[in-house]
């Protein structure tokens, strides 16, 4: 019988709790397809879940060992629904499992990958791309809005900058000095957060896309004008940011990214049309997933980190 090599969270803790395991290739039900995974995205939520933090950890605490990976790109193994064997697909996998050679995915979670888009590019989109798109929509970003994106060089941030510019917004983005050229190349005004406080660099912001949370997210509220809008993505500190914003007369809300194949189709089409760039900073083989987690939890990665399946 074929084996399915996976990288699983065996206990809550540091990256070293990720261990390789061999399982049988899963059998899809009537509403699923079996996907041979080519690449999976590594996201901050993966590291937080592994550490035992947030809603993801609460959901899986009684299911360890558990295989993370909420986004994956690969090939349909056998005909299922509207998909044919060999179709290239990408999906936001709510149940996880992307860190493995095979997974069963709900048919309504999968999108076809256009011919002009690689597996690697597609694998960057289900979590980071949808988060960026849905955050901008939740904040009702309009042409002419002044938008501040925190962590502009990161996986979500660098996509949010481009989508904000496409809406006609004036975009500012915080980053380190090492990433100012990169952020500027995407069309944003780069703000070096180590140079001076953000509110000393920019004021009268209409929309804050907070991808940092905590002390950084709360401090950035000083840049937002009264009546401005804030979407804060890190769920752990969302209540704190929302309360602090309310005291300043600013509307703030948290969000959880939702699967949306229509939006995923829009993002892959934008890549094919070369109107959206995804930056891939590192691709690790699955067997080096521990190092990928060391990188992602540093909070200093540019663009996306991927795992390649053997």
Residue 108's domain is classified under what CATH number? 3.90.180.10
Same domain flag for 118 and 148: no
Among the residue ranges 27-36, 149-158, 291-300, the one predicted with the least confidence is 291-300
pTM summary value? 0.96
162-208 pLDDT, tens per residue? Answer: 999 999 999 999 999 999 999 999 999 999 999 999 999 999 999 99
3-state DSSP of 243-289: HHHHHCCCEEEECCCCCCHHHHHHHHHHHHCCCCCCCEEEEEEHHHH
At 24, is the pLDDT very low, low, confident or very high (cuts 50, 70, 90)? very high
State residue 55's pLDDT score: 85
Task: Give the mean model confidence (pLDDT) for residues 293-302.
Answer: 91
Sheet holding 146-149, edge to edge: 189-192, 170-175, 146-149, 205-210, 224-232, 251-254
Same domain flag for 119 and 150: no
Q: Is residue 178 part of a domain?
A: yes
Task: Give the mean model confidence (pLDDT) for residues 56-82.
Answer: 96
279, pLDDT greater than 70: yes
Same domain flag for 62 and 178: no
Looking at the chain, the whole-number percentage of residues with pLDDT higher than 90 is: 97
Q: Give me the number of domains the chain comprises.
A: 2
Same domain flag for 104 and 137: no
State residue 54's pLDDT score: 86
2, pLDDT greater than 80: no
Measured at the alpha carbon of residue 294, what is the angle toward residues 291 and 299, in degrees to the nearest 5? 135
State residue 1's pLDDT score: 44
Range of the domain at 135: 128-254
CATH of the domain at 151: 3.40.50.720
């Amino acid at each position: 019988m074929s084996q399915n090599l996976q990288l699983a969270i065996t206990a809550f803790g540091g990256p070293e709790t990720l261990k390789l395991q061999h399982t049988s290739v899963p059998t899809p039900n009537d509403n699923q397809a079996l996907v041979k995974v080519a690449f999976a995205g590594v996201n901050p939520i993966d590291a937080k879940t592994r550490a035992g933090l947030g809603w993801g950890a609460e959901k899986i605490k009684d299911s360890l060992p558990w295989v993370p990976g909420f986004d994956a790109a690969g090939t349909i193994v056998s005909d299922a629904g509207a998909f044919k064997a060999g179709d290239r697909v990408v999906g936001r996998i709510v149940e996880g499992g992307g860190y493995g050679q095979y997974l069963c995915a709900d048919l309504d979670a999968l999108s076809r990958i256009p011919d002009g888009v690689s597996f690697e590019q597609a694998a960057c989109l289900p979590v980071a791309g949808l988060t960026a798109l849905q955050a901008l929509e939740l904040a009702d970003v309009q042409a002419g809005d002044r938008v501040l994106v925190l962590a502009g060089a990161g996986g979500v941030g660098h996509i949010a900058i481009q989508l904000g510019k496409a809406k006609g917004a004036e975009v500012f983005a915080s980053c380190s000095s090492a990433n100012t050229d990169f952020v500027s190349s995407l069309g944003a005004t780069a703000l070096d957060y180590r140079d001076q406080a953000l509110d000393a660099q920019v004021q009268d912001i209409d929309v804050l896309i907070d991808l940092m949370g905590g002390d950084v997210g709360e401090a950035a509220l000083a840049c937002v004008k009264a009546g401005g809008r804030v979407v804060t993505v890190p769920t752990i500190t969302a209540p704190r940011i929302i309360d602090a914003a309310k005291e300043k007369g600013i509307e703030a809300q948290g969000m959880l990214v939702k699967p949306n194949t229509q939006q995923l189709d829009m993002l892959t089409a934008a890549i094919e049309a070369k109107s959206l760039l995804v930056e891939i900073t590192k691709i690790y083989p699955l067997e080096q997933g521990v190092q990928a987690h060391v990188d992602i939890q540093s909070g200093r990665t540019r663009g996306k980190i991927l795992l390649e399946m053997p």
